[in-house]
Structure 1
Amino acid sequence: MTSELIRPPYLKKGDTVAIVAPSGILKNREREVQQAVDLLKSWGLHATVGKHVFSKANHFAGTDAERCEDLQKAMDDPTISAIWCARGGYGTVRILDKLDYTKLKENPKWIIGYSDITALHNQLHNQGFESLHALMCVSLTKDISEVQESVDTFKAALFGKPKNYDLEGSKYNREGEAKGQLIGGNLTMLHTMLGSDTSLDTSGKILFIEEIGEYKYHIDRMLQSMKRAGYFENLKGLVVGDMSKLRKNTTLWGTSIEQLILDALEEYDFPIAFNMPAGHEKDNRALVLGREVELKVGKDKSNLHFK
């Protein structure tokens, strides 16, 4: 039996959201950050931008100390109701062990992002918090209608009405039903956390994965490594999001990405649902990580419902 996690208060008009950049550099992304501020204001919220969001230190949005300072300040500030990560890329793992969750436990708040932010989601889960896998500031396009589903489901989750999802069917779906806490995120980041205190205990839970820019053999290698580490042993279900911009090797893999995943996990009997619109595409729907969900998988359709 998994324990119920801390659920931060849902947002209401007048609340304040802090925008921070714990990962990659935000070069020439002022427009997206301002658009994020304007979007929050249109919802009746206030916005504050971290001191170091536009700082530059090689690959990163400031030094490790600067990025950690912005995130820690937002976590500790009782006037902040949510923390929205501006972008992913790489860098969150470098500051994980510097963070202190003492004041966050006194004043829980939603922490939002995806991709590299998976590392932070994992740590939040292990610290006992729900968190929000959703679009980031740099996801916003000039024509916001291009990312409308992402924006709408993000807003709904923030204000306490997370959407249930009825997914398109797939001939690759492995049928079945499961209940458990939803965990996961970017596959590379989940794999990176193996062997550390930030790795997830997947027992009795439902795992979500997504990926971008990888070769199929890289994905298989990660799944095989995770399998050898016991990652899937007591898993209740798997939800597969977008597998975007997969790279082609000179020697072709020979099967679809869906079949690759099924083959890697063939010895398990938990249900597997494909076609979850979440990940590195414009349609990146919000998922409340740590929340109890019910998963029903059929060939013609699947359902992912939040409790």
Structure 2
Amino acid sequence: MNAVFPRPLQPGDKIRFVSPASPCQRSDIEETAEALRHWGLEVDFGEHAFERLNYLAGTDEQRLYDVNAALRDPQVRAIFATRGGKGSYRIADALDFAAARNDPKFVVGFSDITILQLALWKHGVGGAVHGAFQGDERDWERQADIAPLKAILMGSPATVLTPQPEEPTASLTTGGTAQGALLGGNLDMIATAAGWALPPLDGCILLLEAVNMFIGQVDRQLTMLRKGGHLDGVAAIAIGQFTDFKPSGTLTITDLLREHLQPLGIPLLGGLPLGHGPGARSILMGRPTTLDADRRELRVAG
């Protein structure tokens, strides 16, 4: 909770798009860029934002250059990842953490971008926003959905999320209340970060979401996190969307999550609209957060 956070955005501030992971085409993000311009923000793009090298958006050096250039540029007030995919984990340890601490900026993204956000928090830098990729039908799908992200970035980060009954993980909700900084995001990246880019999670509210993996992969990741002690001291777990999971025989992804998480004996709140599924929302990470499983609410303070 001693991390530094960016100031709220103001009209005229500059937003920069970078591609730390997989490639995209400029046309894929023009709708997002145009929405930001309508907010009165200036938009530009990293030098290598539209490079392509197999499944990566350019070489490690090119992708890292763009992220660090944005972290070091005093005119850039928020960094938007063009997409997730794969590759951010290859550069997460080489971010310019000193520049980020000296001049913190919002880092907007999720999925593979989670590992960059975790690495920044490990080095005392807040401002991660989980969510908001154009093309994935998030805050840009309808005008009514734009306001929450705009409010987060422009100084009103208070957010209240409640479970969505149609989400299978809603059945994992237990009882109890906990407070702490909201950390985490994509389970695959949390597990990948363990031992080098993962900050201590004791006292935090841990967000977990995942997409398109075999149930056995999730089993391995949660087993490693538990047996490695990385979940020791976690105050509560906010469970988002676990999307595109097929049962393994009679075992569902919800069964597996219950098997791993309920023995922790901490409040669980499932079914939250955070992740890769329809209707996913944006949320500011790292701020004081209350998980109230009794009232079925996740509340981020303003």
TM-score, normalized by length of structure 1? 0.90
Q: Residue 136 in 1 paired to residue 133 in 2?
A: yes
Counterpart for residue 213 of structure 2: 214
SS of match in other structure, 2:263: coil
Counterpart for residue 178 of structure 1: 178
Counterpart for residue 20 of structure 1: 18
Counterpart for residue 4 of structure 1: 2
SS of match in other structure, 1:144: coil
Q: Distance in 1 between matches of 2:49 and 2:246?
A: 31
**Residue 32 (structure 1) shift:** 2.3
**Contact 1:182 1:207 survives alignment (8 Å):** yes
**Contact 1:205 1:235 survives alignment (8 Å):** yes
Counterpart for residue 289 of structure 1: 285
Q: Residue 162 in 1 paired to residue 192 in 2?
A: no
**Contact 1:32 1:140 survives alignment (8 Å):** no
**Contact 1:242 1:280 survives alignment (8 Å):** yes
Counterpart for residue 107 of structure 1: 103
2:269 to 273, 293, 297: 273
Q: Residue 61 in 1 paired to residue 61 in 2?
A: no
Aligned amino acid, residue 184 of structure 1: G
Counterpart for residue 304 of structure 1: 298
The one-character-per-residue Cα deviations of 1:235-294 (angstroms, maximum 9, x if unpaired) are 100000000011454xx1x24322321211232211000011011123221121111101
Counterpart for residue 194 of structure 1: 194
Aligned amino acid, residue 179 of structure 1: Q
Q: Superposition pairs for residues 62-77 of structure 1, below 5 Å? A: 62-77=58-73
SS of match in other structure, 2:99: helix
**Residue 15 (structure 1) shift:** 0.6
The one-character-per-residue Cα deviations of 1:61-114 (angstroms, maximum 9, x if unpaired) are 111111111111111000111000000000111112322122222221111100
**Contact 1:239 1:276 survives alignment (8 Å):** yes
**Residue 148 (structure 1) shift:** 4.9
Aligned Cα root-mean-square deviation (Å): 1.8
**Contact 2:246 2:252 survives alignment (8 Å):** no
**Contact 1:86 1:138 survives alignment (8 Å):** no
TM-score, normalized by length of structure 2? 0.92
Runs of 4+ in 1 over 4 A off after TM superposition: none
Give % identity: 28
**Contact 1:182 1:208 survives alignment (8 Å):** yes
Q: Distance in 1 between matches of 2:124 and 2:84?
A: 23
Counterpart for residue 226 of structure 1: 225
Q: Distance in 1 between matches of 2:241 and 2:115?
A: 18
Q: Distance in 2 between matches of 1:4 and 1:109?
A: 16
